Structure 1
Amino acid sequence: MSHTITHGEIARLKRTHPQLFARPLAQRWREWALWLCFAAILGFGLWWIEASPLRIWNGLGKLGTLVVLMIPPVDGGAFLDYCRAMAETLAMAFLGTVIAAVLAVPLGFLGAKNMVPNWLFHFGLRRVFDTFRGIDGLVWALIFVSAVGLGPFAGVLAIAVGDVMVFSKLFAEAIENVDRKQIEGVRAAGGSGAQTMRLGVFPQVFPVMMSHVLYFFESNVRSASILGIVGAGGIGLALSDRIRINNWDEAAFIILMILVTVAVIDNVSRRIRMRIITTDTGHK
């Protein structure tokens, strides 16, 4: 049966929970002040970058002209060269991701609280992870292009160094959440420290690690395309050259190749991740 709220009940609710019916004036002023601060910061940022309505309108007009120049996309007789450049980009993403993942496994074990209980060591290592994670992959690419020269080797190093600390943090968090019963079972059977990690910890975290690695490989395929623009090789270098000489129809063809390749990689990687997750859940 439905119950009709009486005036007495409403009055009692107003006395016990006044914030549900009328917010205090101070709270309302505080919210208005926050919104005004947000509007002021947004307005200042737009003024700082000179984002005037006229400039936006002119930019949209030029963008429309570029889109017209991109149609229809053509390969310019360099389709095989683009395919080789795309294969180079995929190789950069794959090698960089694998190198980062392999290096991150021992770092992940060192960074896990339940593996290395020394809080000072753990705190320092985690801060190292955070420091390196704060540097974008494009910055690493510029550094390694200057250090080792132009080409895909610089791109592989940029991806590997940029990802290794992120993997280390994710792997450490996965290791910290393992089931203690399996670890205790290996130790009870007389297993050594290395055997405990290999048989009691690693099988539990391996599906999580592989899921992270596959996801980052997807992302690194896109990143490798951008890294080529700063001289790290791959399809990004070809795209940069076509844009520089205003061959927008060929640039559009390269962009379409990147989109198709990324879509295929994303689809395949997602299926593999789902199979890993489903298999791991079924075992549990």
Structure 2
Amino acid sequence: MQADFFAKKRKSSLRFFVVLAAITICAIIMTEYNVVKGFESLPRAVTWALGNFYPTQESLVKLPNILKSLVETLLVSIAATTIGAVFAILFAIMGSNTTKINGFFGSISRGIATIFRNIDVAAWAMILLFSFGQSSLTGYFALFFGSFGFLTRAFVETIDEVSEGSVEALRATGANYFSIIFQSVIPSSLPQMISWVLFMIETNIRSATLIGLLTGSGIGFTFNLYYKSLNYDIASLVVITIVVSILLIESISNYVRRVIL
């Protein structure tokens, strides 16, 4: 029986890789991508980066302005994530099979979350540009909508997995709906929810760089400004500050996860 199981797994894996290889080959043919030329260009790209894309002593003068833009990006990302999490908790409670008020509101909540989750933050930024123009507010709402959709889905699954047993126990004792929410659902789900929020903050900080290119704000706009003006030394300094900030936020996030989980 065990040999048959592993044989089936190997066949499934083989079929997956065959399909993946076929899709890759079709994509190469359709896009007329030259694989050989692509690999040949890598050494030239690395040589150019090592010779041009590095910070110099003169570029350090711009570091205060870069850090100011970076702080703006970090604050927008954190604000969008935390506010999105508040709304996500409300919609997750209404959309969860464990805590939903009725099937109608549950379907509406999950449907709204699905729509917001499946539209990329870059697409949200382009849509919102028509209403708010190039500003930090556009980036904030783009990150907020993306965070709201993702976190609602994550919170729904968390509530369904973590709280089902305790919810049934409270219902058996005759507890009302709000007692169940505040005495069982939120306390038992909160550590995992915080973990999801921290993950979303990390993701939004990465996404905010791209959003800044579109909305003309934050660290993304700063990078685009110096890169397009051929100030590669300053642009490289921007990239380094972004990488360092992401690594720092990720280390803090991992530490908090270890403490709460």
Instruction: State the TM-score, normalizing by the size of structure 1.
Output: 0.78
**AA partner of residue 255 (structure 1):** V
Match of 2:169 in 1: 184
Match of 1:235 in 2: 219
The answer to whether the Cα contact below 8 Å between 2:87 and 2:148 also exists between their aligned partners in 1 is yes
Gaps of 5+ in 1: 1-15, 278-284
**AA partner of residue 259 (structure 1):** V
List aligned pairs for 1:20-99, cutoff 5 A. Answer: 38-52=20-34, 53-58=36-41, 60-62=43-45, 64-73=47-56, 75=59, 77-99=61-83
**AA partner of residue 165 (structure 2):** R
Q: Alpha carbons of 1:253 and 1:204: their partners in 2 closer, same or farther (altered >3 Å)?
A: same
Q: Alpha carbons of 1:17 and 1:79: their partners in 2 closer, same or farther (altered >3 Å)?
A: closer
- Which of 152, 157, 161 pairs up with 1:173? 157
Distance (Å, rounded) in 2 between the aligned partners of 1:163 and 1:138: 13
Match of 2:113 in 1: 129
Aligned residues: 256
Moved more, 223-232 or 262-271: 223-232
Give the CA RMSD over aligned residues: 3.1
**AA partner of residue 169 (structure 2):** E
Distance (Å, rounded) in 2 between the aligned partners of 1:276 and 1:198: 19
Gaps of 5+ in 2: none
Instruction: Give the drift of 1:78.
Output: 1.6
Instruction: State the TM-score, normalizing by the size of structure 2.
Output: 0.85
**AA partner of residue 136 (structure 2):** P
**AA partner of residue 200 (structure 1):** S
Match of 2:235 in 1: 251
Match of 1:11 in 2: none
The answer to whether the Cα contact below 8 Å between 1:66 and 1:248 also exists between their aligned partners in 2 is no
Describe the SS at the equivalent of 2:97: coil
**AA partner of residue 177 (structure 2):** G
Does structure 1 residue 271 correspond to structure 2 residue 252? Answer: no
Structure of larger gyration radius: 1
* Ranges of 4+ aligned residues in structure 1 off by more than 6 Å: 16-20, 30-36
**AA partner of residue 97 (structure 1):** T
Distance (Å, rounded) in 2 between the aligned partners of 1:202 and 1:253: 43
Does structure 1 residue 151 correspond to structure 2 residue 153? Answer: no
Moved more, 143-152 or 154-163: 143-152
The answer to which structure has the higher helix fraction is 2
Distance (Å, rounded) in 1 between the aligned partners of 2:137 and 2:3: 65
1:84-137, Cα deviation, whole Å (9 max, x unpaired): 100000011111101110110110001111212744543454343223211111
Distance (Å, rounded) in 2 between the aligned partners of 1:35 and 1:264: 36
Instruction: Give the drift of 1:175.
Output: 1.3
| Percent sequence identity over aligned pairs | 23
